[in-house]
Structure 1
Amino acid sequence: MSYRAEYIWIDGTSPTAKLRSKTRIVSAGAPPTWGFDGSSTNQAEGHASDRVLEPVFTCPDPIRGGDDVLVLCEVLNTDGTAHVSNTRAALGAVAQQFAQHRSLFGIEQEYTFFDGARPLGFPESGFPAPQGGYYCGVGADEIFGREIVEKHLDRCLAAGLEISGINAEVMPGQWEFQVGPLSPLEVSDQLWIARWLLYRTAEEFGVSVTLDPKPVKGDWNGAGAHTNFSTEAMRTSYAAITAACEALGEGSKPLDHVKNYGAGIDERLTGLHETAPWDEYTYGVSDRGASVRIPWQVEKDGKGYIEDRRPNANVDPYVVTRLIVDTCCTSLKKEGLV
């Protein structure tokens, strides 16, 4: 019996890639390799525009239902090599190299709803009441977009995604969902699918979604993608926790990471609004003003995970997980903490 397969891929738009998708009717079997016009997605020139869609992750389509599926794809060149915009391939190589560390990630995806040119919940002129009551708030005077958020959550669960929670954030119209804990490739694949479902769900309400790291200038929180990370050693040893924190701050690593943690990061990482300055690196226990936070429970238990608070909401999860695995696991291996 035929079914609909929604092929989803990440395009070549710079500095922040966009999601694209199109539908194929599949008569039988698994979704096959397909193709698209790369000249329309910033991934090819018009004289040689064919690009290849290679399925890498498939899940039920919670919007169409039935036997229909969502198909996340890598973008390949016609010779089978990874396209330059394909950041998943590089992560796959690093994840395999350090597979013995059994890395796990949980990513907290913040985002902001917009109604036209203003955040959902902002008055047509001026500003709402200052931040304070919106975070995890309740009530129509402080919470905006809950119906969209709940429908998105339902769809993520129906798709089989490992969504671990949702909450309203510090600014009106700003929300968060969390994905994980999962392996580097799994958390990244599922975050991209969850983002696609978020855009599609909000579309039905005539509302847009932005991952802009500083959607409103001034005294308002930005939007991040706090990235929680652990290895098997970190889940059993506090020495591995501090070693990972030290590794992230070693030499040029802080700036190497930050420049790949999402466009516009200097607008968000100012040292205010629960951030550390983008050009400084610090870590500390229970410190949301540090670059990397060690949760208080981790210090108490002597094991657990760390939270890199620097990634922007618009970060590419394939990139942030690759950088953290490469940096931390290289150092942990060198110190015998595997």
Structure 2
Amino acid sequence: MTKYKLEYLWLDGYTPTPNLRGKTQIKEFDSFPTLEQLPMWGFDGSSTKQAEGGSSDCMLKPVRHFPDSTRKNGILVMCEVMMPDGVTPHASNKRATIIDDDNTWFGFEQEYFFYKDGRPLGFPTAGYPAPQGPYYCGAGYSNVGSIARQIVEEHLDLCLDAGINHEGINAEVAKGQWEFQIFGKGSKKAADEMWVARYLLQRLCEKYEIDVEYHCKPLGDTDWNGSGMHANFSTEHLRTVGGKEYFEKLMAAFKDNIADHIAVYGPDNHMRLTGKHETAAIDQFSYGIADRGASIRVPHSFANNGYKGYLEDRRPNSQGDPYQIASQILKTIASVQMEASMSEAAA
């Protein structure tokens, strides 16, 4: 028998942005356990804004698990929060209620800033560094410093060790800003892996005494880019059938549902979606081929392939909940597909 360190992870009840929480328990298994072997576990919900002190019990239900290479015999256990009966999802448990479809693929581009001493990593004590320009995908100490690349490389390795479908990293437009990409088939799978990747990054940064800033516009109304979490998506229909007529109906549905999308695309998005810094205005909808300032960017490969492939929603922001973002995209797509199915049936 081997003693395993199980790090149970969950999203707390803070709004508008939940925080990741984690605690460890030790369990013995003959070998690396299956998900079904991992027990439910309780926690004090009154300390996470998920219960009152007089009735504080909440339960953690394991839903995904990953090897944790930072610990000997370590396992990361992503959980849903349940009520004390262990059956009823807690009100903060968005994962339990979202739309999911394994045939819908999501690729999230997580942008963020490294922060130290209250300012982005590499910023001078007072004022600002040289203007944006050389930092994006840059190299050299003056552009990326001496620590950031070390962190992102370590984070990449940790994600790959865990079996997370991490697809790449790059320095971003602003000083101290970086990005990593996660791909998954289905809302829950893609979002699970994004949340665990976020956790690994935050935990890694502890030893460097650096914070991860996910706010979508941490530098406020300045000429410095904000951070997004662009959501690339593709349904089986988009990949195999597509067509300009279907695409235009899909874009019309996205336009009709602006408010529903913005509601779950992350807080403070009005600070970021201003129509500047390669963003669309928050109250408008647009799409365009290779247009980074549109709500939906249409890749050349999509248009050149008979309007088939994937699309990129550029409005989700860096502190958004990927569960809700993916689910809302699926809702809008489903409304178009349902209409198409009804038309076919009537014919």
Structure 1 length normalisation: TM-score? 0.95
1:246 Cα offset (Å): 2.1
Name the counterpart of 1:315.
Answer: 320
Residue 33 of structure 1: which of 40, 56, 62 is its match? Answer: 40
- Alpha-carbon distance between aligned partners in 2 of 1:16 and 1:49, rounded to the nearest angstrom: 21
Question: Cα deviation per residue 1:169-205 (whole Å; 9 max; x = unaligned)?
Answer: 0001100000004221110000000000000111111
1:131 Cα offset (Å): 0.5
Check conservation: 1:62, 1:156, Cα contact below 8 A. Answer: no
Question: Cα deviation per residue 1:213-243 (whole Å; 9 max; x = unaligned)?
Answer: 0011200100000000111110122334333
Matched, 1:192 2:195: yes
Matched, 1:261 2:265: yes
Name the counterpart of 1:151.
Answer: 154
Matched, 1:160 2:166: no
Classify the secondary structure of the residue corresponding to 1:323.
helix
1:68 Cα offset (Å): 1.6
Check conservation: 1:238, 1:304, Cα contact below 8 A. Answer: no
Matched, 1:235 2:239: yes
- Alpha-carbon distance between aligned partners in 2 of 1:245 and 1:180, rounded to the nearest angstrom: 23
Question: Cα deviation per residue 1:288-319 (whole Å; 9 max; x = unaligned)?
Answer: 11111111111111211111100010000110
Classify the secondary structure of the residue corresponding to 1:129.
coil
- Alpha-carbon distance between aligned partners in 1 of 2:285 and 2:260, rounded to the nearest angstrom: 12
Residue 61 of structure 2: which of 43, 46, 54 is its match? Answer: 54
Name the counterpart of 2:106.
Answer: 105
Name the counterpart of 1:133.
Answer: 134
1:332 Cα offset (Å): 1.9
Name the counterpart of 1:89.
Answer: 96
- Alpha-carbon distance between aligned partners in 2 of 1:181 and 1:48, rounded to the nearest angstrom: 37
Question: Cα deviation per residue 1:55-108 (whole Å; 9 max; x = unaligned)?
Answer: 0000101211x43200000000012211111010111xx22xx56xx1110000
- Alpha-carbon distance between aligned partners in 1 of 2:248 and 2:239, rounded to the nearest angstrom: 12
- Alpha-carbon distance between aligned partners in 1 of 2:112 and 2:207, rounded to the nearest angstrom: 17
Structure 2 length normalisation: TM-score? 0.92
Task: Give the letter for the 1:332 counterpart.
Answer: Q
Name the counterpart of 2:123.
Answer: 122
Residue 77 of structure 1: which of 76, 83, 95 is its match? Answer: 83
- Alpha-carbon distance between aligned partners in 1 of 2:23 and 2:280, rounded to the nearest angstrom: 40
Query: Which has the higher mean CA deviation after the structures are superposed, 293-302 or 162-171?
Result: 293-302
- Alpha-carbon distance between aligned partners in 2 of 1:63 and 1:329, rounded to the nearest angstrom: 41
Residue 68 of structure 1: which of 55, 69, 74 is its match? Answer: 74
Classify the secondary structure of the residue corresponding to 2:236.
coil
- Alpha-carbon distance between aligned partners in 1 of 2:285 and 2:276, rounded to the nearest angstrom: 14
- Alpha-carbon distance between aligned partners in 1 of 2:170 and 2:249, rounded to the nearest angstrom: 31
Check conservation: 1:168, 1:176, Cα contact below 8 A. Answer: yes
Classify the secondary structure of the residue corresponding to 2:144.
coil
| Paired residues for 1:257-296 under 5 Å | 257-296=261-300
- Alpha-carbon distance between aligned partners in 2 of 1:151 and 1:241, rounded to the nearest angstrom: 40
Residue 226 of structure 1: which of 227, 230, 239 is its match? Answer: 230
Q: Which runs of 5+ in 1 are unaligned?
A: none
Residue 214 of structure 2: which of 208, 211, 219 is its match? Answer: 211
Matched, 1:326 2:336: no
Name the counterpart of 1:43.
Answer: 50
- Alpha-carbon distance between aligned partners in 2 of 1:61 and 1:52, rounded to the nearest angstrom: 22
- Alpha-carbon distance between aligned partners in 2 of 1:178 and 1:290, rounded to the nearest angstrom: 20
Aligned residues between the structures:
329
Task: Give the letter for the 1:205 counterpart.
Answer: Y
Classify the secondary structure of the residue corresponding to 2:54.
helix
- Alpha-carbon distance between aligned partners in 1 of 2:78 and 2:4, rounded to the nearest angstrom: 16
Question: Cα deviation per residue 1:44-63 (whole Å; 9 max; x = unaligned)?
Answer: 11000000000000010121
Check conservation: 1:254, 1:281, Cα contact below 8 A. Answer: yes
1:245 Cα offset (Å): 2.1
1:256 Cα offset (Å): 1.4
Name the counterpart of 2:3.
Answer: 2
After the TM superposition, list the runs of 4 or more consecutive aligned residues in structure 1 that deviate by more than 6 angstroms: none
Residue 186 of structure 2: which of 183, 186, 193 is its match? Answer: 183
Task: Give the letter for the 2:321 counterpart.
Answer: D
Task: Give the letter for the 2:70 counterpart.
Answer: I
RMSD: 1.4
Classify the secondary structure of the residue corresponding to 2:216.
coil
